[in-house]
A = this chain, B = another copy of it.
Amino acid sequence: LTTKKEIQENLKKFEKGNFDTVPDPDHLQHFKERAKKKEDSDSVKTSSLQETHDAVSHDHPMGKYTLPHPIWSEDQLHDVQITHTPPEGFVDKLAFFSVKMLRGGFDIFSGFKVGQRNEHKWLKRIIFLETVAGVPGMVAAMMRHMISLRRMQRDHGWIHTLLEEAENERMHLMTALQLKQPSWIFKTAVIGSQGVFVTLFGIWYAISPKFCHRFVGYLEEEAVKTYTKCLEDINGGPLKHWQTQEAPDVAVRYWQLPEDATMRDVILAIRADEAHHRVVNHTLASMKPDQFNPYKPGK
C-alpha cells in the first residue's frame, strides 16, 4: 500500500473519471438531466463559465460534496425579517460601529448608490461582498481548531458550525459567479481586501471572539437588508427578469431547488442563509467560548 504503483493506479482511475461511485443525492440525477436538456436545446446561456459546458465536469459538478446546511421551507424563505440586536456594552458597540462604518464606506467607494441600479451593479456588489463573507467562518474555525490542539482541550462543538458558515458563503459566491465573471481591476480589489480582512479578523479573533461573532452578527443584519432590497428590485425594479431567469445548476443542487427554480428563488434562499448566520453569530457572541455550541450540524 501507498506504493508508487497504488498512487499511479488511483490517478489513472481518476483520469478516466472512474472513481467508485457513492449513491448520489436524489436531486443529482435530476441535475444531470437538466444539464443535458440545456445542452440539447439552444436555450440562452445563463452561465458564462466555461466549466459548465465541459463534459468532464458532469462527473464532479460544483457543490456535490458540501457540508450539511439548512434547506429552507417556503414559509421560512418568506418569513425573513430585517432585525436589529441592540449592542450592549463596549465590545458590542465597537462591533456595531465598525460594521456601520464599513458599510457606509463601501457604499460610497463602490458607487452603488450613484445613478440607476442594474444587474451589473448588483452582481458586482454581491460577488464582492461574498468574497469577504467567506472569511470569518474559516478563520474562526481554524483559530478554534488550533486552540484545541495547543491547549489540549476539547472544542465544545463550535468548529462544524463555523465551517458550515464559511462554505455556505463560498457557495453564495460560486452561485453569483455563474452570472458574471469579474474584471481584472475587480480581482485586484478582491485580493487586496482579503489580505487585509484575513489578517485583521485573525488578530481580532485572538483578542476577542465575542467581538468577532458580534461583528459578523451585525454584518449579517446588513446582508439581510441588502438581499431584501435585491428582492424588491426583483419584484418590481431593474431585476424583474430574475423572476423568470433560470437558477444556475450549482444553486439548484446546493439548495435542492425545484427544476423550474428561478434567480428569485436563489436570492430568497441566500437571504434565509444570511438571517441564519445572523442569529447564530449573535448567539455565539453572547456565549462563553467554552460553552457547548447549541447548533447541530446542518442546523
Q: Which residues of A contact B (CB under 8 A)?
A: 1-4, 6-8, 10-11, 13-14, 19, 22, 51, 59-60, 62, 64-65, 67, 79-81, 83-86, 127, 131, 134-135, 138-139, 141-142, 145-146, 148-152, 154-157, 159-160, 163, 166-167, 170, 173-174, 177, 181-182, 187, 190-191, 194, 198, 217, 221, 275, 278-279, 282-283, 286-287, 291-292, 294, 296-297, 299
Would you call A145 and B134 a contact (CB within 8 A)? yes
Knowing A14-B291, A149-B131 are in contact, say whether A174-B154 is a contact too (CB < 8 A).
Answer: yes
Partner of A282, one of B7, B160, B198: B7
Would you call B296 and A194 a contact (CB within 8 A)? no
Would you call B187 and A286 a contact (CB within 8 A)? no
User: Is the contact region of chain A dominated by helix, strand, or loop, or is it mixed?
Assistant: helix
List the B side residues contacting A62 at CB < 8 Å.
154
Would you call B279 and A7 a contact (CB within 8 A)? yes
Name 7 A/B residue pairs within 8 A (Cβ), A-sorted. A2-B217, A14-B294, A65-B160, A65-B296, A65-B297, A134-B145, A138-B145
Oligomer: number of copies:
2
Would you call A282 and B2 a contact (CB within 8 A)? yes
Residue on B nearest A286 in the bound complex, by CB? B7
The distance in angstroms between the C-alpha atoms of A278 and B4, with both chains bound, is 12
Shortest Cβ-Cβ A-B pairs, 8 listed: A14-B294, A2-B83, A19-B294, A60-B292, A2-B279, A150-B194, A134-B149, A2-B278
Would you call A83 and B10 a contact (CB within 8 A)? no
Would you call A283 and B150 a contact (CB within 8 A)? no
List the B side residues contacting A286 at CB < 8 Å.
7-8, 11
The distance in angstroms between the C-alpha atoms of A292 and B215, with both chains bound, is 35
The distance in angstroms between the C-alpha atoms of A2 and B19, with both chains bound, is 44
Would you call A146 and B194 a contact (CB within 8 A)? yes
Residue on B nearest A190 in the bound complex, by CB? B150
Would you call B131 and A138 a contact (CB within 8 A)? no
Would you call A146 and B135 a contact (CB within 8 A)? yes
The distance in angstroms between the C-alpha atoms of A161 and B10, with both chains bound, is 16
List the B side residues contacting A11 at CB < 8 Å.
283, 286-287
